[in-house]
Structure 1
Amino acid sequence: MQITNILIWQTNKTLRNFELEENKVNVITGDSGKGKSSILSIIDYCLLSSSSDGISKTNVDNFVNWYGIRFNLNGKYHTICRKATHYEEDDFVYFDKNGEIPETPINNLKKNVLKEHLNYEFGINSSLKIPYGGRFIQQGSKISYRYFIPHCFIDQTTLTSSEHLYSKISDLKTRERIDRTFDMALGSEHAETMIMRTRLEELQRNLARIEYKQSASKDSYVNFENEIESLYDRAYHLGLARSNNQEPTVGDKLDHLKTIISYKDINEIPEINERIRLEKEYFTLNKELSDINDYIETSTEYKKFLKENQDSLLIAKYLDDNYNNIIYTENIYSIVKSLLNQSLEIKKAIAQKGKNSLISKTHEKKKEIESKISLLSKKLSLLSNENITPSALYRFIGELSSEVKRVDVIPKHDYTESIESITSKIDELEGKVKDNNIFKEYTLSLLNDKIKQTLSRMPLKGFEDATPIVNKGKKTLDLVNKNQVEKMIDIGSASNYMYVHVAYFLALHELVRERNVRWVPRFLVIDQPSTPYFSTGGRKTDDFASLDAALNEINSFIEKMKSHGGFQIILLEHIEESYWLEREMENFKLVDNELRGDYGLIHFN
């Protein structure tokens, strides 16, 4: 897209027609206060900007009925006209698809229809969507040609700004548009990769949704939940179900009820057998405990008996101790010795203690059996306490069989196959996205190289050998100088900042044209690059000669772009026509006349 005419229908019915040439530096120059800075905003306004900021109300808009531009897009000429901003805003514009300039414009097309047409002409279709949303732009919203317009304007304030490269960057919506489409503008993101990223986002959201469904999916029992719960409770009280620490699900309960009716004999039911087994074991252990208690009691009485016998044998010890004082026959002495030995054995039996004693081991066995009995009691307590007859069980099982058949079960859906399919697609797309991210980094390095080449011909004062680095996130240009990083805000003079902005945008458009990016227009409006070289009183400063480097670069850029389909620069300036004529800048062209004295953007004959 290049602009051929800037049109202003004044309130006195006269048309101001500023004719521009394609593939040239079109200079609109003149004194301050003549309205030339409004040109940038007029172009943006006619390209359907929602804002008219920058069009002077006092010097321009109050004297205008209509604004318009005529432009060449893809070899076809079109004309767009909009009412002056002091008129009530409406949704209509004037549009002529053949580029005719009307005597007086009349609204004939809705703005949203024209935007769709321009999107089509710029190669932007409905499938191009924002893959990542923000505060002002929703994820999945359609991309518009308007998102690429900021790459075509450098207003006077921005040109010498120390904080940002782009105009209106303080408008967060504008900033988001630049951020979301920056890679598209550089040609490192194209229709295929944008669609791919959008598709990847959709798949990832879809996968998360299906994985949630998979985790939450369960059998549906179509209003039979209460009946299943009731039947299971009855089965439990009949001893046909066990109590667990964790409450079984409705599905688990239904499965258990189905298992019960599958048995042909109640003795096959594990819960019935389990109770019988536990009761039998409980009885056996109680019998064993009773025997042990009897033994312990008998052992105690036996020791008491031995103690009594030991006392009766004390006479034998006396006779033995007084052997020399008593006359024994041989038979009597043998009897005394025998009684004495019996007394010693009884003493040993009474004195036997410790872990190895029989009675100690018996007590340990008793504790072990008591522990088992306690555990069995707990298990039995979890089972039904009701005494149920076999006939009652058979009646319940018969009823249960009939009731279970009535339950209508809608089985849970298994999403495994869908999850695997989507995951496979995500893996494939993520691989392609990763490759594209590498290409983006490469593109940014190319942009930095082009900026460096441009700055080598108009070097920054104090940073002549520095390497420029575009800060993609902040949209600033930093420098690496003598192994130190200099932030854009620290680069210094207004002249340096003008150089930075001109170098950045020329490098960007060179890369765009080399890659033939359709959605970025082929023009750039630069508002007063000579500003740093005029004093506050409007006089030229001693550093005015530094402007030559920037203007020569602009002139050379137009020549270079002729081999890439051409490019147009609209320069809003203070300098006289003689300035570029003396320096033989062959691609510079004066638009209309210099705006000086009584002659301005708005002019009444």
Structure 2
Amino acid sequence: MHFQLKSLVLWPRNEKLAPLVVPFAQGKLNVITGASKTGKSAVIPIIDYCLGSERCAVPVTTIRDACSWFGVVVTTREGEKLLARREPGTQQSTGDMLLLEDKTVEIPHSVPEKNTNVDAVKRMLDKLAGLSNLGFDPNAPASGFKGRPSFRDLLAFTFQPQNIVANPDVLFFKADTMEHKEKLRTIFPYVLGAITPDVLARQWEMEQLLRELRRKERELEAQKTASARWRAELQNWVSEARDLGLLSSEQAAPERRETYLASLEEIITKTSADAQVSDISLDAAATESSELDKEEAVVSLQLAEVKGRLDNMVQLRSAVDDYNGALKKQRDRLQLSRWLRDLSEKSEASCPLCGGSFEHADGELDALCDALANVEATARQLEPVPAAFDKELVQVRQQVRRFTDSLKGVRARKQAVEERSKRIRDERWRRAAVDRFLGRMEQALKVLKAPEGDPAFFAEVAELRSRLAALRAASSDSAARERRDAALQRVSATMARLLPGLDAEFPNEPAELNIDDLTIRVTRPNRRDFLWEIGSGANWLSYHVAVMLGLHELFLSQKGSPVPSFLVLDQPSQVYFPRKLAKAVKEGDDPPLADEDVAAVRKVFATLATATKSMTGLQILVLDHASKEVWGDIDVHLVDEWRDGKALVPREWLAS
């Protein structure tokens, strides 16, 4: 991911003073050198704060007392972005931020005013990095260790602060806390390219398919169980059909299962009318009830037809009104353009809002006026709903009321007939029982005829199993492990190439990155040692530098890697400062270095400079005591030297 530092920006509390801009070179080894307590170790916390950290780790007193806002300008594939964040005062942090985006961003001279917040900036950075919106475990909480990767997680590969750069126990930025350590373990296969956004999407799809498959398999098993139970009760089904008058006595006496099924299949073609007892038709009340049933059916059909027509007419009227309203809003909004164009035609006229000239706005105003004319023409062409429509709508509503009243009348007459005749009430109950039986019987026959369940449902289960198998084959764990191992082998190969040029005790012994323990393991004759088992700060520093460069070489070779292409190291030469000498020197002076230590520090700078040349697109920033005398002829871009009273915060800021 092309994401490099262009400049660091500080705004003073005294608004009369200009902001401080510390520029960096792209794709090179940048160095800020200086004495102790000049602000070098504040650079990483400032950049981290502007990139959305949860709390402000910028040192208190001098820097935070003098600055009102911190900012960083970065270059991306979308152009430059200024990310500025307000100094939080007595709070741990603040969400107030300024975001400016352009091909070339102009740094504001005055103290910024917020135009966004830290959450919006984080979302923008996640999108810029092309990170997946899916978590690593579909069943885990979204905010847990298995949640979606974020841009903030990737900064573990960009910062090596003073307490990390030569630490035997901690290899990555903020991996000294359990929360960040667990998240880093989770995202490592993702940044190595072993797990891609497509793989994550397939994993989520597999989980959803698996849930659906389990649900349908349970339903299929229930169908099989029901089928076995119903087959055992076939004779009961036939007996119930005979009792309801759907089968004759002769049909209700078969002994074979196939004959039972054939008899029941005939039943589902019947209706409750076929089960009526013949002498019921001789009852005058029954005859009247039957006629009322027919009348109710006719009126219900007529009512449904008219009601559907009414719904369509009401929807048409609403659509016309909505369209007219939308045209009116457009016309009202565009009307201002015609007034502005009239103003622009007057000599020496200026914009009433900003006071600027109309000189470069004529084309835009003409376009807006043309749009207004098109909207007005459309509005004129739109014909209003004719009066005949309203008349028809009234008539349809009258028909709805008339049919509704008729239906109510028929049902009232039916209720009266039923109340007069107990026989009709009993018959109506019996017919309802027949209808319920027929419905149950139709569904039961589907299962009874298919011992494995409903064929269509069984086909759905088979399709789910097939899709799940295909996704598992495309997202096999073995393939992900192979990609992960290949990436780690490439990092190990880069470390093997770089370590002989550093001050390592075992430069020719194979070293590998262990992503489970987030450390380095060195293979020596007859043993394998972790980083914390190897002594000497020089060793720890060498392995830190080698593994970080190895990872960035891998990231730069990947297509679409989300990791930013910069690396910041703070005080890598500290391991060569003897404590007793560092205490003996006067505060603010540089600790002395022996000749062999100078040579060792020089190796570090030479390795970093070579890396920026061989790894196209990598930017490195080193903050260190070491001066030009150590790395003078190495290809280094000297950003600034903070000595002799010069520091990150200018003196006049402190004086004011």
Question: How far apart, CA to CA, are the structure 2 residues paired with 1:161 and 1:133?
Answer: 35
For 1:445-484, list aligned pairs within 5 A: 445-458=489-502, 460-461=504-505, 463-484=506-527
Of 388, 406, 416 in structure 1, the residue corresponding to residue 436 of structure 2 is 406
Would the alpha carbon gap of residues 134 and 482 (structure 1) be closer, same or farther in structure 2, given more than 3 Å must change? farther
Q: Residues 511-543 of structure 1: CA distance to partner in whole angstroms, max 9, x if unpaired?
A: 111224341111001111101000224234545
Question: How far apart, CA to CA, are the structure 2 residues paired with 1:23 and 1:456?
Answer: 24
Aligned partner of 1:86 in structure 2 is 89
Deviation at 1:73, TM superposition (A): 0.4
Q: Residues 104-155 of structure 1: CA distance to partner in whole angstroms, max 9, x if unpaired?
A: 21101233333333333323364x5434666774598543322212111111
CA contact (8 A) 1:136 1:173 kept: no
Would the alpha carbon gap of residues 419 and 77 (structure 1) be closer, same or farther in structure 2, given more than 3 Å must change? same
Aligned partner of 2:356 in structure 1 is none
Would the alpha carbon gap of residues 598 and 517 (structure 1) be closer, same or farther in structure 2, given more than 3 Å must change? same
Aligned partner of 1:10 in structure 2 is 12
SS of the aligned residue for 2:643 comes to coil
Would the alpha carbon gap of residues 598 and 541 (structure 1) be closer, same or farther in structure 2, given more than 3 Å must change? closer
Question: How far apart, CA to CA, are the structure 2 residues paired with 1:71 and 1:266?
Answer: 87
Identity fraction in percent: 23
Aligned partner of 2:113 in structure 1 is 106
For 1:485-504, list aligned pairs within 5 A: 485-504=528-547
Aligned partner of 1:149 in structure 2 is 155
Deviation at 1:45, TM superposition (A): 0.9
Of 183, 186, 191 in structure 2, the residue corresponding to residue 177 of structure 1 is 183
Question: How far apart, CA to CA, are the structure 1 residues paired with 2:236 and 2:435?
Answer: 11
Would the alpha carbon gap of residues 202 and 62 (structure 1) be closer, same or farther in structure 2, given more than 3 Å must change? farther
Would the alpha carbon gap of residues 496 and 517 (structure 1) be closer, same or farther in structure 2, given more than 3 Å must change? farther
For 1:226-265, list aligned pairs within 5 A: 251=230, 255-260=234-239, 261=242, 264=250
Deviation at 1:94, TM superposition (A): 0.4
Aligned partner of 1:600 in structure 2 is 647
CA contact (8 A) 1:19 1:591 kept: yes
Of 469, 493, 505 in structure 2, the residue corresponding to residue 427 of structure 1 is 469
Deviation at 1:552, TM superposition (A): 1.1
Question: How far apart, CA to CA, are the structure 2 residues paired with 1:202 and 1:39?
Answer: 46
Give the aligned residue type for 2:236.
Answer: L
Deviation at 1:400, TM superposition (A): 11
Give the aligned residue type for 2:237.
Answer: K
Deviation at 1:39, TM superposition (A): 0.8
Question: How far apart, CA to CA, are the structure 2 residues paired with 1:578 and 1:35?
Answer: 21
Q: Residues 348-385 of structure 1: CA distance to partner in whole angstroms, max 9, x if unpaired?
A: xxxxxxxxxxxxxxxxxxxxxxxxxxxxxxxxxxxxxx
Question: How far apart, CA to CA, are the structure 2 residues paired with 1:31 and 1:506?
Answer: 27
Aligned partner of 2:552 in structure 1 is 509
Of 415, 426, 443 in structure 1, the residue corresponding to residue 487 of structure 2 is 443
Question: How far apart, CA to CA, are the structure 2 residues paired with 1:218 and 1:44?
Answer: 61
Question: How far apart, CA to CA, are the structure 1 residues paired with 2:146 and 2:533?
Answer: 38
Question: How far apart, CA to CA, are the structure 1 residues paired with 2:548 and 2:537?
Answer: 17
CA contact (8 A) 1:95 1:109 kept: yes
Tell me, yes or no, if structure 1 residue 119 matches structure 2 residue 126: yes
Deviation at 1:269, TM superposition (A): 7.0
Give the aligned residue type for 2:538.
Answer: S
Would the alpha carbon gap of residues 443 and 111 (structure 1) be closer, same or farther in structure 2, given more than 3 Å must change? same
Question: How far apart, CA to CA, are the structure 2 residues paired with 1:422 and 1:30?
Answer: 65
Give the aligned residue type for 2:483.
Answer: F
Aligned partner of 1:31 in structure 2 is 35
Aligned partner of 1:577 in structure 2 is 628
Question: How far apart, CA to CA, are the structure 2 residues paired with 1:580 and 1:265?
Answer: 107
Give the aligned residue type for 1:203.
Answer: L
Question: How far apart, CA to CA, are the structure 1 residues paired with 2:130 and 2:28?
Answer: 25
SS of the aligned residue for 2:523 comes to strand
CA contact (8 A) 1:34 1:601 kept: yes
TM-score, length-scaled by structure 1: 0.66
CA contact (8 A) 2:496 2:508 kept: no
Of 46, 71, 80 in structure 1, the residue corresponding to residue 50 of structure 2 is 46
SS of the aligned residue for 1:162 comes to coil
Give the aligned residue type for 1:427.
Answer: A
TM-score, length-scaled by structure 2: 0.61
Aligned partner of 1:377 in structure 2 is none
Question: How far apart, CA to CA, are the structure 1 residues paired with 2:223 and 2:63?
Answer: 67
Aligned partner of 2:414 in structure 1 is none
Segments of 5+ residues of structure 2 without an aligned counterpart are 257-428, 448-452, 583-590
Question: How far apart, CA to CA, are the structure 2 residues paired with 1:131 and 1:439?
Answer: 19
SS of the aligned residue for 2:516 comes to coil
Give the aligned residue type for 2:8.
Answer: I
Deviation at 1:549, TM superposition (A): 1.9
Deviation at 1:174, TM superposition (A): 2.2
Deviation at 1:441, TM superposition (A): 1.8
Give the aligned residue type for 2:157.
Answer: H
CA contact (8 A) 2:146 2:186 kept: no
Deviation at 1:603, TM superposition (A): 2.2
Q: How many residues in Structure 1 have an aligned counterpart in Structure 2?
A: 440
Would the alpha carbon gap of residues 491 and 431 (structure 1) be closer, same or farther in structure 2, given more than 3 Å must change? same
Question: How far apart, CA to CA, are the structure 2 residues paired with 1:100 and 1:90?
Answer: 24
Would the alpha carbon gap of residues 573 and 209 (structure 1) be closer, same or farther in structure 2, given more than 3 Å must change? farther
Deviation at 1:40, TM superposition (A): 0.6
SS of the aligned residue for 2:475 comes to helix
Give the aligned residue type for 2:624.
Answer: E
Aligned partner of 1:589 in structure 2 is 637
CA contact (8 A) 1:28 1:36 kept: yes
Question: How far apart, CA to CA, are the structure 2 residues paired with 1:30 and 1:80?
Answer: 26
Q: Residues 290-316 of structure 1: CA distance to partner in whole angstroms, max 9, x if unpaired?
A: xxxxxxxxxxxxxxxxxxxxxxxxxxx
Give the aligned residue type for 2:47.
Answer: I
CA contact (8 A) 1:23 1:568 kept: yes
Deviation at 1:169, TM superposition (A): 1.0
Aligned partner of 1:97 in structure 2 is 101
Aligned partner of 1:288 in structure 2 is none
Tell me, yes or no, if structure 1 residue 528 matches structure 2 residue 571: yes
Question: How far apart, CA to CA, are the structure 2 residues paired with 1:601 and 1:117?
Answer: 29
Question: How far apart, CA to CA, are the structure 2 residues paired with 1:576 and 1:41?
Answer: 23
For 1:184-333, list aligned pairs within 5 A: 184-216=190-222, 251=230, 255-260=234-239, 261=242, 264=250
SS of the aligned residue for 2:74 comes to strand
Deviation at 1:255, TM superposition (A): 3.9
CA contact (8 A) 1:133 1:139 kept: no
Question: How far apart, CA to CA, are the structure 1 residues paired with 2:142 and 2:36?
Answer: 37
Would the alpha carbon gap of residues 102 and 401 (structure 1) be closer, same or farther in structure 2, given more than 3 Å must change? closer
Aligned partner of 2:23 in structure 1 is 19
Tell me, yes or no, if structure 1 residue 558 matches structure 2 residue 558: no
Would the alpha carbon gap of residues 423 and 253 (structure 1) be closer, same or farther in structure 2, given more than 3 Å must change? closer
Q: Residues 424-467 of structure 1: CA distance to partner in whole angstroms, max 9, x if unpaired?
A: 22222222222343222222211221122211322521x23321
Deviation at 1:215, TM superposition (A): 3.9
Q: Residues 147-198 of structure 1: CA distance to partner in whole angstroms, max 9, x if unpaired?
A: 2121111111111221231121133332243223222322333333332333
Q: Residues 263-307 of structure 1: CA distance to partner in whole angstroms, max 9, x if unpaired?
A: 73888679xxxxxxxxxxxxxxxxxxxxxxxxxxxxxxxxxxxxx
Give the aligned residue type for 2:185.
Answer: D
